[in-house]
């Protein structure tokens, strides 16, 4: 079985990094990705995809990227469920395994180790 996702999109805001109690670093980012077609008004539809970055990926994206930067993400889908106010909810994230900086002066790939 294969669970692999490859995305190219722009950061919707400046990345923020959080350090957990055990020293692990994590960052949640959102990529804006235009679809290949336009709506009736001639505007591209945009998907907003949530991604989770750990340790080196989180640290490097936080250091080198800003809102609007174009990046590539290779990772896997992860689906979690939780309950809020008695209602079951489902959240789907892309767990990043590799990040490629695609903005002109940042062409570099970061692998998660």
Three-state secondary structure string covering the chain? CCCCEEEEEEECCCCCCEECCCCCEEEEEEEEEEEEEECCCCCEEEEEEEEEEEHHHHHHHHHHCCCCCEEEEEEEEEEEEEEECCEEEEEEEEEEEEEEECCCCCCEEEECC
- Confidence at residue 113, expressed as pLDDT on a 0 to 100 scale: 56
Give the per-residue pLDDT at 96. 97
Answer whether 51's CB lies under 8 Å from 28's CB. Answer: yes
pLDDT tens profile 96-105? 999 999 986 5
Domain 5-111: CATH architecture, name and number where available: Beta Barrel (2.40)
CA 74 to chain centre: 9
Domain ranges of the chain: 5-111
Nearest by Cα to 110 from 77, 72, 78, 66: 72
How many other C-beta atoms can be found within 10 angstroms of the C-beta atom of residue 56? 14
Q: Which residues of the chain have pLDDT under 50?
A: none
């Amino acid at each position: 079985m294969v669970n692999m996702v490859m995305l190219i999109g722009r950061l919707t805001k400046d990345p923020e990094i959080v350090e957990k109690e055990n020293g692990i670093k994590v960052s949640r980012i959102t990529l804006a990705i235009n679809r290949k077609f336009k709506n009736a008004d001639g505007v591209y539809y945009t998907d907003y995809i949530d991604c989770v970055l750990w340790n080196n990926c989180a640290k490097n994206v936080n250091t080198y990227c800003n809102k609007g930067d174009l990046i590539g993400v290779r990772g896997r889908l992860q689906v979690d469920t939780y309950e809020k106010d008695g209602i079951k909810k489902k959240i789907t994230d892309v767990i990043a395994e590799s990040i490629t900086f695609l903005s002109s002066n940042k062409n570099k790939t970061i692998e998660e180790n």
